[in-house]
Amino acid sequence: MDTAFRKINIDKYDEDILLPAELYDPDPRTPAQVLADARQKSAAVRACLTRGDIAGALAVALDQYPYGEGVDEAKALTLSTVLLILNSTKTADIGPLVRTLTQDQQDTLMKYLYKGMALQATGDQADVTGSVMLGWHGGLTDVAGVGCIGRVMTDRRTV
């Protein structure tokens, strides 16, 4: 029996198909701008970290994060910037740090934690440590609750 018809992408013939990109508001910045911002923030975060200002570094890294399509380089850069902060924090400091973040920043941090854990599972990212991720995840869930985890799952603006 001919089964080639099963491979036909029928969505191509659907006039009102709903594309994933239509489900969120696109970033008003151009991809080049996003990348420039990410580079600039990465440098700012490093400056904060040398001063020992972890709260400031987190706030800088988690605001205006890159999402959507066509900004993979900026996404990778921001992820490693966030991981740098997460890895250079003492476990005891996590709770108080998380409390200083706004609710939007908490939601964004949770996105990066899940992204980090996903990459750790595949072994693609060398600078992810499971225990660090789980420590942050626990600390963040204590403050922001399961609602924050749900928002990571529903949000199409993936990091």
Partner 1 sequence: MSAPEVFPLSVGPITGHAFNADRSQVCVSLNSSDAQVMAYDGTGWKTTETLSEHDKLITSIDWAPNSNRIVTCSQDRNAYVWTQVPDPQTGELTWKPTLVLLRINRAATFVRWSPNEDKFAVASGARAIAICSFDEENNWWVSRLLKKPIRSTVLSIDWHPNNVLLAAGSADQKARVFSAFIKDVDKRPGPTVWGDKLPFNTICGEWSSPNGGWVHSVAFSPSGDAMAFVSHDSSISIIYPGGPGVITVKTTILPYVTLTWTSESSIVTAGHDCQPHVFQGSENGWAMVGSLDSSKGTHRHTGQRNQIEAFNRFRQADSRGSQGEEDTELLPTVHQNTITSVRAFDGSPDRVTRVSTSGVDGRLVLWDANAVGQPVGLAGKMAGLRM
Nearer to partner 1, 72 or 142 (CB): 142
Nearer to partner 1, 94 or 144 (CB): 144
Residue pair 139/98 in contact by the 8 Å Cβ criterion = yes
Distance in angstroms (rounded) separating the CA atoms of residues 9 and 143: 45
How many H-runs (helices) and E-runs (strands) does the chain carry? 6, 0
Side-chain-side CA neighbours of 1 within 13 Å: the count stands at 3
Helix axes 103-122, 72-87, angle to 10 degrees: 100
Binding stretches for partner 1 (CB under 8 A): 16, 18, 22-25, 103, 107, 138, 143-151, 154-157
> 139-159 burial by CB neighbour count: b if 16+ within 10 A, else e?
bbbebbeeebbebbeebebeb
Q: How far is the CB of 103 from partner 1 (least distance, A)?
A: 5
State in angstroms the smallest separation of the CB of 141 from partner 1.
9
C-beta of 50: minimal distance to partner 1 in Å? 31
- Provide the minimum distance between the beta carbon of 153 and partner 1 in the complex, in angstroms, as a whole number: 9
Which lies closer to partner 1 via its Cβ, residue 77 or residue 148?
Answer: 148
Rank residues 29 and 151 by Cβ distance to partner 1 and give the closer one: 151
